[in-house]
Amino acid sequence: MTSIGAFISGCSGPVLSSAERDFFTRTNPWGLILFKRNCETPEQLKTLTSAFREAVGRKNAPVSC
């Protein structure tokens, strides 16, 4: 894991791409910020949040919008 200091990241769409997942695993951002482009349905948001938290290895990693 690479440490670049604490930061909050976003993602490009409603699901994590493999590149985004790899980036989050390598850099371990403190949290994820969501925008309209990331939000479709409650179930999709739950899946996206879970995927981010799995990538960073913290089940309580902050997700905000």
The residue-averaged pLDDT of 35-63 equals 98
Q: How far apart are CA 58 and CA 39, in angstroms?
A: 21
pLDDT at 1 over 70: no
- Could you say which DSSP state residue 59 is in? T
Q: HSE of 3 in the Cβ direction (CA atoms, 13 Å)?
A: 2
Can you spell out the DSSP letters for 6-50? S-EE--SSSS--HHHHHHHHHH--SEEE--GGG-S-HHHHHHHHH
pLDDT tens across 3-45, in order? 567 999 999 999 999 999 999 999 999 999 999 999 999 999 9
- Tell me, yes or no, if the pTM score tops 0.75: yes
